[in-house]
């Protein structure tokens, strides 16, 4: 009997040793932990229940996880996310997507729902939506170790596919399809120099220079010393009428290629078109002066209104005392256009300090010049209602003073005085010119 039991035991032992133990299946999807910001919003019971559900999900035990989720109830912040993973594990992608989206809607910080939705799109082969979800996860968690490598790999693949599509379209002469494909590249890598440059060149081929400029700018920002690209962008700006920006680029080119005669000539042409003056150091200090001179005022006007003054000179004035003035070019410009006049003895007296009455006279001449260029000035106060206590109607400066007061460019004191002999600080001169610029319509 003992021998028989021993034999049976050996047989059973051998059978047990040969039996295959079926392991718990590993989960086929990634289930990230519930973020701490969500856990703190749960009650203790909800946290315990959620931990149990997540343990079952990570172990791949779908049936057990589902029973625990239903027991946990819809009041738990983890409920819809859990249901989303049940749908994902059971290949019910529609239910999974619906639940994950609801979880994100009610709790945007629930990154497990974002990861789940990404895996739904991966299962469905919807690469663009998958890319958007990876990007959303990284926006909330830039160092996410699960999403980061997948995002970068997918981005590179999508860029490669779209770039190949764009190049094929260009080769076939289909610029519209090429533009769409390159724009798609920019949805994946907005700073792509090659895609931005390709788009700029497509717009140029389509005779749409203005459309090309934003893409040229991004491309050039990444290659600030690429001389060929700088010239291409500068030429495009010139063609689009963006002369100031074109000049800036040509000046950068001149620094990179000091001996390029074509660049030097283009710079001179642009400066002439723009009426650009090199601003001396004296100009920058005008605003801080206690009292401005005639040369200071001429410089302020010529620079502030350079666009309006980019016209042929009306009359040549012989001014015998401006050769040593730092503001010589400015004086010549405003004098030739009649905005500031020389004296009968052909002097300009550039260093003469001006007073408020003389400023008013110059401002009226400037207003009349701007009116001739199409600007409209509307008086705020009827000149007939203006009474000035310290300037008689027969005074030489009375009319210009009344006019600048009517436009509210210069003001009277509470005592209705104008103080015509008072000097003009630099900041006041800058202010009134800014007012005129704002009033010109």
The answer to the question of residue 359 being in a domain is yes
Q: What is the pLDDT of residues 40-69, one digit of tens each?
A: 889 999 999 999 999 999 999 999 999 999
Q: Are residues 262 and 291 in the same domain?
A: no
**Separation in Å, CA 316 to CA 277, 313, 330, 396:** 19, 7, 14, 26
76 contacts 98 by C-beta, under 8 angstroms: no
The answer on 343 and 251 residing in a single domain is: no
Backbone φ/ψ region at 91: left (φ over 0), alpha (ψ -120 to 50), beta: left
pLDDT at 13 over 70: no
**CATH code of residue 61:** 1.25.40.10
Domain membership flag for residue 17: no
Distance between CA 382 and CA 406 in Å, rounded?
A: 6
- Residue-wise pLDDT tens digits, 308-353: 887 766 666 788 999 899 999 899 989 999 999 899 899 999 999 9
**Same domain, yes or no: 105 and 164:** no
301 & 434 share domain: yes
Give the integer Cα–Cα distance in Å for 410 and 415: 15
Q: How far is residue 375's CA from residue 334's CA, in Å, rounded to a whole number?
A: 17
User: Do 189 and 195 meet the contact criterion of CB atoms below 8 Å apart?
Assistant: yes
Closest alpha carbon to 150 in 159, 138, 165 = 138
Q: How confident is the model at residue 240 (pLDDT cuts 50, 70, 90)?
A: confident
Last residue of a domain, one of 219, 250, 273: 273
Other CB atoms within 10 A of residue 36 CB = 8
* CA atoms of 141 and 135, how far apart (whole Å): 10
Cα 229 from Cα 237, distance rounded (Å) = 12
Considering the domain architecture, whether residues 235 and 355 belong to the same structural domain is answered as no
Q: What pLDDT does 23 receive?
A: 36
| pLDDT band, residue 7 (cuts 50/70/90) | very low
**Residue 309 sits in the same domain as residue 382:** yes
- Does the predicted TM-score (pTM) go above 0.75? no
- Parent domain of 362: 281-439
């Amino acid at each position: 009997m003992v021998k028989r039991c021993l034999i049976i035991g050996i047989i059973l032992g051998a059978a047990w040793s040969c039996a295959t133990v079926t392991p718990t299946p590993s989960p086929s999807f990634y289930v990230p932990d519930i973020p701490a910001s969500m856990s703190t919003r749960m009650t203790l019971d909800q946290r315990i229940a959620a931990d149990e559900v997540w343990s079952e999900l990570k172990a791949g035990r779908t049936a057990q996880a589902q029973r625990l989720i239903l027991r946990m109830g819809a009041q738990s912040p983890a409920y819809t996310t859990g249901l989303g993973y049940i749908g994902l594990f059971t290949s019910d992608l529609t239910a999974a997507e619906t639940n994950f989206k609801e979880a994100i809607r009610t709790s945007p910080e629930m990154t497990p729902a974002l990861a789940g939705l990404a895996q739904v799109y991966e299962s469905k082969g919807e690469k663009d939506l998958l890319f958007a979800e990876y990007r959303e996860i990284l926006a909330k968690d830039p160092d996410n170790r699960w999403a980061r490598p997948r995002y970068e790999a997918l981005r590179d693949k999508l860029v490669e596919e779209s770039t190949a599509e764009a190049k094929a379209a260009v080769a076939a002469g289909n610029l519209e399809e090429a533009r769409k494909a390159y724009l798609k590249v920019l949805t994946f890598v907005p700073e792509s120099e090659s895609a931005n440059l390709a788009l700029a060149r497509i717009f140029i081929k389509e005779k749409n220079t203005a459309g090309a400029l934003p893409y040229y700018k991004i491309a050039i920002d990444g290659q600030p010393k690429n001389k060929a690209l700088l010239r291409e962008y500068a030429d495009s700006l010139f063609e689009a009428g963006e002369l100031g920006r074109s000049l800036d680029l040509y000046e950068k080119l001149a620094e990179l290629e000091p001996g390029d005669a074509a660049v030097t000539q283009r710079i001179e042409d642009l400066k002439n078109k723009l009426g650009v003056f090199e601003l001396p150091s004296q100009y920058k200090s005008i605003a801080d002066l206690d009292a401005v001179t005639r040369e200071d005022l001429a410089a302020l006007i010529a620079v502030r209104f350079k666009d309006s003054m980019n016209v042929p000179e009306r009359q040549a004035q012989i001014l015998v005392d401006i050769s040593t003035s730092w503001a010589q070019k400015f004086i010549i410009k405003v004098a030739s256009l009649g905005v500031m006049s020389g004296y009968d003895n052909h002097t300009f007296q550039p260093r003469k300090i001006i007073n408020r009455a003389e400023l008013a006279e110059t401002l009226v001449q400037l207003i009349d010049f701007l009116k001739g260029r199409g600007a409209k000035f509307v008086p705020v106060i009827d000149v007939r209602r203006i009474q000035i206590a310290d300037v008689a109607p027969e005074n030489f400066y009375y009319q210009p003073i009344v006019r600048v007061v009517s436009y509210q460019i210069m003001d009277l004191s509470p005592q209705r005085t104008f103080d015509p002999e008072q000097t003009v600080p630099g900041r006041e001169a800058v202010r009134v010119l800014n007012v005129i610029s704002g009033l010109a319509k």
